[in-house]
Amino acid sequence: MPDTFFYATEVMLNGLMAGVMYSLVALGFVLIFKASGIFNYAQGVLALFAALTLVGLQDGQIPFSHVINAIFGTDLHNFGWTLPAVVAIALTAVVMVGMAILIERYILKHLVNQEPIILFMATIGLAYFLEGLGDVMWGSDIKKLDVGLPQGISETIETATYNWFGYGFFIDKLDIVAALVAAALVIALTLFSQYTKYGRALRAVADDHQAALSVGISLRFIWVLVWSIAGFVALVAGIMWGSKSGVQFSLSLIALKALPVLMLGGFTSIPGAIVGGLIIGMGEKLFEFSIGPMIGGATENWFAYVLALLFLVFRPQGLFGEKIIERV
């Protein structure tokens, strides 16, 4: 077998792994869209905020230290302790739940029955707000996130594939972990929504708001629940993406990449979010590898959107979505 074939396969595998990251963000989108019909633009920023909070807690940073220093002329930075990764993750999860409660109480409650576009705008506002809040709380410098996940190229796979095919595949250990975590997350979410009381309530709300209300399900509680879960998914995405490329603003831009993922997978399908993410991740890497050099490279910026655009014309509901798109 020629080396280019193996190289293409490797590119494809790495694309799949990048796709897992998109899927993680898209998952949060789908959860919120199903339960409340809100198209949550802030999902990517939630991931950024979660990652920032996690790093901040882990390093014992003092929240708002920059503001305090600016106002009082002090020079505070750290409490002087570091928390173990598990504790910090648990605390961040608590923060995300608190955030969900605040979002429901101060934003969503007041916007019930508004048009979807207004709610969408509100989440864009929320995204700006959280981005500013994260930066003001924890500072905007690029931070290193290390929660003890394995890093670097997996030598085992490299030697094994070298022995089998005569070509060593370079695959990041972190990507493998991310794929496993994503799989675990999807299984956990599926089990939760199929077999627990609250999971069923969640699905009921997703099916029909009014019917759910009439059998006694509290919409407000469900919204807090679903935003908490989305916050948790954002935390996972933030950990994965942050360990890979550091916690920085570009993290919130993956939210935009998640949009074409949703177009492909359908807005209402959890498996769709995963498959869509994989297709986009793989597609953009392969396109960049095969066609990119001919037309100047950096095609990853737009490939996903153009693919989604083409998809929309032929199958507007996505691969797995419900057929609810109104044709014009």
Partner 1 sequence: MFYREAGDYKTSYPEDSQTFPIKFDRIRYYAVLAVAFGIIPFFINDYWANAVFVPFLIYAIAAIGLNILVGYCGQVSLGTGGFMAVGAYAVYKLMTAFPEVSILIHVLLAGGITAGVGVIFGLPSLRIKGFYLAVATLAAQFFLVWLFNKVPWFYNYSASGQISAPERDILGVIITGPNTTAAAKYLFCALILLALAWLARNLTRGSVGRKWMAIRDMDIAAEIIGVNPLTAKLSAFAISSFFIGVAGALFFAVYLGAAEVGESFGIQKSFLILFMVIIGGLGSIFGSLAGAAFLVLLPVFLKNVLVGMLGWPTDLAAHIELLIIGGLIIVFLIAEPHGIAQLWRLAKEKLRLWPFPH
Of 157 and 312, nearer to partner 1 (C-beta) is 312
Let me know: does 311 contact 325? Beta carbons within 8 Å: no
Contacts of 246 (CB under 8 A, 6+ apart): 142, 143, 144, 145
Q: Return the SS3 of 4.
A: helix
Of 84 and 297, nearer to partner 1 (C-beta) is 297
Of 112 and 187, nearer to partner 1 (C-beta) is 112
The structure tokens 């898209």 sit at 26
In the complex, the smallest distance separating the C-beta of residue 272 from partner 1, rounded to whole angstroms, is 14
Using the rule CB under 8 A, is 259 a contact of partner 1? yes
Let me know: does 260 contact 19? Beta carbons within 8 Å: no
Q: Return the SS3 of 247.
A: strand
Scanning the chain, the segments in alpha helix (DSSP H) are 3-36, 43-59, 65-72, 85-106, 116-138, 155-165, 173-195, 197-207, 209-214, 219-245, 250-265, 270-290, 300-314
Of 168 and 281, nearer to partner 1 (C-beta) is 281
Member of 67, 160, 211, 324 binding partner 1 (CB under 8 A)? 67
| β-bridge partners, 309 | none
Using the rule CB under 8 A, is 99 a contact of partner 1? no
Member of 1, 2, 117, 216 binding partner 1 (CB under 8 A)? 117
In whole angstroms, what is the distance from residue 37 CA to residue 222 CA? 13
**Segment 209-228, which members bind partner 1 (CB under 8 A)?**
none
Using the rule CB under 8 A, is 124 a contact of partner 1? yes
In 3D space, the residue among 314, 316, 282, 313 whose CA is nearest the CA of residue 300 turns out to be 282
Using the rule CB under 8 A, is 256 a contact of partner 1? yes
| β-bridge partners, 61 | 78
Mark 28-47 with x for binding to partner 1 (rule: CB under 8 A) and - for no binding.
-----------x--------
| Distance (Å) of CA 299 to CA 20, 305, 306, 310 | 19, 11, 10, 16
**Segment 291-320, which members bind partner 1 (CB under 8 A)?**
295-299, 301-302, 305-306, 308-309, 312-313, 316
Using the rule CB under 8 A, is 166 a contact of partner 1? no
In the complex, the smallest distance separating the C-beta of residue 295 from partner 1, rounded to whole angstroms, is 7
In the complex, the smallest distance separating the C-beta of residue 95 from partner 1, rounded to whole angstroms, is 17
Member of 12, 62, 91, 121 binding partner 1 (CB under 8 A)? 121
Let me know: does 117 contact 132? Beta carbons within 8 Å: no
Of 17 and 130, nearer to partner 1 (C-beta) is 130
Residues found near partner 1 in the complex (CB under 8 A) = 39, 66-67, 70-71, 107, 110-111, 114, 116-118, 120-122, 124-133, 135-136, 140, 256, 259-260, 262-263, 267, 295-299, 301-302, 305-306, 308-309, 312-313, 316, 325-328
